[in-house]
A = this chain, B = another copy of it.
Amino acid sequence: MLPVFTDVVAAAGRLEGRVIHTPVMSSERFDARVGRKVLLKCENLQHIGAFKFRGALNTLLQLEAAAAADPASSRLVATHSSGNHGAALARAARELGWRCWVVTPNDASPAKLANITAEGATLRHCEPGLGPREAALAEIVAQTGADVVHPFDDARVIAGQGTAALELLSTHSSIDVISTPVGGGGLLSGTALAARGVVPSCRVIGVEPKVADDAARSFHSGVRVGMSGSPPTIADGLRGSLGVLPFEIFKNHVDDVLTVEEAAIVQAMRIALEDFRVLIEPSSAVVLAAILDGRLGKPGETIGVIVSGGNVDLSVCPFLSGERSVRAS
């Protein structure tokens, strides 16, 4: 069943005191650069370094409520994830005393895998791509009977992700456009639900890498298409395909989905570090890339951006991968 605005509000109540009300940052230098007022909702500073903790914990809290009424519950949970959702579910499970398995594709970022194991989950590796991930997950479920928490095709997860935008729009209602990256579409879906409930006039726009443009093609054609294999984007969180529930929500509540080039993503990461002094993931940088390109929002408008995460392998990003020796300026 599709989640609605009141599910986001209920999620916010459930999460109160358990998630960080992340700071909202702005940069006069960045605003001057782009001719727009840009507000970053810094979910890179959320627990586990990403918004994903909101959706995972919202789901786990509902599973725990059900388990509390069921003496036979074994309190096992499983998912597949390229990184942040896995760490998020692992942490939520740890906090509530559940066991957790995470299926991870072989091309996942080592930094993100380390985050998952640090939270106490058990990893199961598989080939990249949605098919192998779902097969490995099905196997775990067959073996253990674990509850599956899908990274984005789950109404509880989508409602949880929407709480970041709910926080942002509740305190910054002058936002003209709100934007998030799009991978499976859970964040943009939840954001759209929050926006429609709080600031109905606010436009909702997703951004994704051009080499992983399944959401844009689906949105503009009206027919959901998937990515085959693992697209070669540095934005490792956005390699998956658009989900079924997100696609339905996009059709009703999303205004546009844009795409950006790989070089623009890296450039946007660097500019974010210089202007805002925060480290954002390539997956988060896609939105800033579209703003820098002048295609997101109009001059003078206020743009709210959900910075999805800050988990970066410093060795993977070109400008972060220099030698480690010391050189005084």
Partner-B contacts on A (CB < 8 A):
23, 25, 29, 44-45, 49, 107, 109, 111, 118, 232-234, 236, 262-263, 265-267, 270, 273-274, 277-280, 310, 312-314, 316-329
Which of chain B's residues has its CB closest to A309's CB?
B277
With A29-B118, A278-B279, A319-B322 as contacts: A329 and B314 at CB distance below 8 Å? no
- Give me 7 other A-B pairs in contact (C-beta within 8 A), A232-B328, A236-B329 excluded: A266-B326, A274-B314, A278-B279, A318-B322, A318-B324, A319-B321, A319-B323
- Chain B residues with CB under 8 Å of A320's CB are 273, 319-320, 322
24 CB contacts below 8 A, A to B, read A23-B23, A29-B118, A45-B277, A234-B327, A234-B329, A263-B325, A266-B324, A266-B326, A270-B324, A273-B279, A273-B320, A274-B314, A277-B279, A277-B280, A278-B279, A313-B329, A314-B319, A318-B323, A319-B320, A319-B321, A320-B320, A320-B322, A321-B322, A322-B322
Which of chain B's residues has its CB closest to A313's CB?
B329
Most chain B beta-carbon neighbours within 10 Å: one of A263, A267, A321, A322: A322
